């Protein structure tokens, strides 16, 4: 698990350096795997689950370690690189709820192995629904139990073998208290009348389709706004595309193959001319690929150059352009944002959890009348859950200007 660093309270906090039952050995053979599966099957209650990837080191987002804990079964650290068939584990894990922290980070790589939950409890998402200002696992464990988890290896290269013992201890601690944390958060959700919201949110995470690929992912290059010409953007696009091919082939994180700052530095040169600038970083990995990409960008005819602005989010135009191209929608968007913000503050939860920015934009762009039924239909089609539709429809319509209809 990799999470943002949050300030952790230290007064009166006890450091937890080792799991209660010690650091378990890595499950790295078929026999050990089947034994772990049997032990997990004999346990009871939900499964606390986490995974470790090698983000920042590898191109892929595959799991390089899987941590599972269950009452009566203990903690198991499974090396997915050493296991070729996860069907026995998948069948056991489908028998009960999974407890994860920031489930959307772990579910994709676990799904690649055929491990998919029937239902989940996401402790991070529960914290957000409860209005917790800090929802990192380490912080929540401190606040709930007065215990500080060792978090030194969250950004480690988990693809290395063998994995160091202190890394394994860190990994085991990530699931050490998830079951107890789930119990505390579930009780608080019930006490605040938010348990049904959580149930719907967790179900939506499980049912969510894979994210839609960005139409032009190269536009996410850091500091691309520093490039002001179409030809410079073409250089960014071609170098980014070449880097992606090389990174995929080598299974190295793109930023380690060629850093964004180098791409922007090359694309921002004046004038853009052959040969390729002699940046030291361009001599690493695949220098011929960078040279060819650069030449392609310079040889493109004007009609083939990229537009200075990319496609809008969610298929809609950039909201910054709404006032010019659809003024009523711009007015509606401000009303929707104001209504959602005020309602979220009243309910003590982040506004993006009440209604995501993408759904807010879709509603503002699409609504044509003040009919609550239409609002509900738009929200439902955009992916809002029933609890969200129930809570935001009236506030939105209350603030929606009568003269802002299309």
d(CA 358, CA 340): 13
Domain that holds residue 60: 14-207
Domain boundary among 304, 335, 364: 304
* Residue where a domain terminates, one of 280, 304, 328: 304
Pick from 159, 178, 207: which residue ends a domain?
Answer: 207
Residues 360 and 221 in one domain: no
Q: Based on the domain organization, do 139 and 222 belong to the same domain? A: no
CA 236 vs CA 8, 256, 271: distances in Å:
40, 17, 15
List the beta bridge partners of residue 315. Answer: none
Residue 66 inside a domain? The answer is yes
Residues 69 and 136 in one domain: yes
Give the whole-angstrom CA distance, residue 47 versus residue 78. 14
CA angle 164, 169, 173 (to 5 degrees): 150
Query: For 43-156, where are the alpha helices, taking DSSP H only?
Result: 87-93, 103-112, 123-129, 137-145
Q: Does one domain contain both 201 and 252?
A: no
Question: Which residues of 53-174 form beta strands (DSSP E)?
Answer: 65-71, 74-78, 98-100, 120-122, 147-149
Distance of CA 340 to the CA centre of its chain: 23
Return the pLDDT at 403.
59
The three-class DSSP label of residue 44 is strand
35 within domain boundaries: yes
For residues 193 and 295, membership in a common domain is answered with: no
Predicted confidence at residue 310, as pLDDT, reads 77
- Per the domain annotation, does 1 fall within a domain? no
Query: What is the pTM for the complete model shown?
Result: 0.91
- 7 lies in a domain? no
How many domains would you assign to the chain? 3
Q: Note whether 300 and 327 are same-domain residues.
A: no
For the chain, the C-alpha Rg in angstroms (whole number) is: 25
Residues 289 and 396 in one domain: no
Contact status, residue 392 vs residue 335, Cβ threshold 8 Å = no
Task: Evaluate whether residue 310 is within a structural domain.
Answer: no
275, 331: one domain: no
Find the angle CA(162)-CA(66)-CA(8) to the nearest 5 degrees: 95
Say what the pLDDT of residue 277 is.
Answer: 86
For 245-308, give the DSSP string: HHHHHHT--HHHHS-HHHHHHHHT-SS--SS----GGGGSS-HHHHHHHHHHHHH--GGGSPPS
Domain membership of residue 4 (yes or no) is no
- Establish if 24 belongs to a structural domain: yes
Indicate whether 6 belongs to any domain: no
pLDDT in tens, the chain (406 residues): 655 555 555 557 899 999 999 999 999 999 999 999 999 999 999 999 999 999 999 999 999 999 999 999 999 999 999 999 999 999 999 999 999 999 999 999 999 999 999 999 999 999 999 999 999 999 999 999 999 987 666 679 999 999 999 999 999 999 999 999 999 999 999 999 999 999 999 999 999 998 888 889 999 999 999 999 999 999 999 999 999 999 999 999 999 999 999 999 999 999 999 888 888 889 889 999 999 999 999 999 999 999 988 766 567 888 989 999 999 999 999 999 999 999 999 999 999 999 999 999 999 999 988 899 999 999 999 999 999 999 999 999 999 887 555 5
Instruction: With CA atoms as reference, report the closest residue to 181 among 238, 150, 138.
Output: 138
- Pair 22, 122 in one domain: yes
> Do 48 and 131 lie in a common domain?
yes
If asked whether residues 195 and 240 sit together in one domain, one would say: no
What CATH code is carried by the domain that includes residue 95? Answer: 3.30.420.10
The CATH number that applies at residue 231 is 1.10.150.80
- Partners of 68 in the beta sheet? 49, 76
Within this chain, do residues 264 and 342 fall inside the same structural domain, yes or no?
Answer: no
């Amino acid at each position: 698990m990799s999470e943002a660093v949050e300030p952790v309270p230290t007064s009166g906090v006890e450091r937890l350096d080792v799991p209660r039952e010690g650091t378990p050995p890595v499950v790295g053979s078929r026999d050990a795997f089947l034994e772990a599966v049997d032990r997990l099957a004999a346990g009871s209650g939900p499964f606390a689950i986490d995974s470790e990837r090698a983000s920042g080191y590898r191109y892929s987002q595959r799991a390089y370690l899987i941590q599972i804990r269950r009452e009566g079964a203990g903690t198991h650290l499974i090396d997915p690189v050493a296991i070729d068939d996860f069907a026995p584990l998948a069948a056991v894990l489908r028998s009960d709820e999974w407890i994860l922290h920031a489930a959307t980070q772990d579910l994709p790589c676990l799904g690649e192995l055929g491990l998919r939950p029937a239902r989940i409890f996401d402790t991070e998402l529960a914290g957000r629904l409860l209005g917790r200002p800090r929802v990192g696992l380490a912080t929540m464990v401190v606040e709930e139990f007065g215990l500080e988890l060792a978090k030194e290896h969250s950004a480690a290269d988990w693809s290395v073998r063998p994995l160091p013992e202190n890394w394994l201890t860190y990994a085991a601690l990530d699931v050490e208290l998830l079951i107890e944390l789930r119990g505390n958060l579930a009780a608080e959700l019930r006490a605040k009348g938010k348990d049904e919201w959580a149930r719907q949110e967790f179900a939506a995470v499980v049912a969510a389709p894979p994210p839609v690929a960005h139409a032009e992912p190269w536009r996410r290059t850091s500091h691309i706004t520093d490039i002001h010409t179409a030809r410079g953007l073409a250089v960014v696009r071609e170098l980014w595309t070449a880097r992606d091919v090389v990174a995929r082939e080598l299974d190295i994180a793109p930023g380690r193959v060629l850093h964004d700052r180098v791409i922007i530095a090359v694309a921002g040169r004046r004038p853009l001319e052959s040969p390729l600038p002699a940046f030291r970083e361009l001599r690493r990995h695949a220098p011929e690929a960078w040279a060819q990409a650069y030449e392609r960008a310079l040889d493109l005819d004007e009609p083939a150059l990229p537009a200075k602005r990319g496609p809008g989010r969610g298929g809609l135009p950039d909201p910054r352009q709404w006032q010019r191209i659809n003024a009523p929608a711009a007015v509606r968007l401000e009303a929707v944002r104001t209504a959602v913000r005020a309602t979220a503050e009243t309910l003590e939860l982040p506004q993006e959890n009440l209604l995501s920015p993408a759904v807010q934009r879709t509603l503002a762009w699409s609504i044509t009348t003040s009919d609550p039924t239409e609002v509900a239909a738009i929200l439902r089609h955009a992916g809002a859950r029933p609890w969200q539709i129930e809570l935001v429809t009236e506030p939105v319509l209350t603030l929606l200007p009568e003269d802002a209809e299309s």
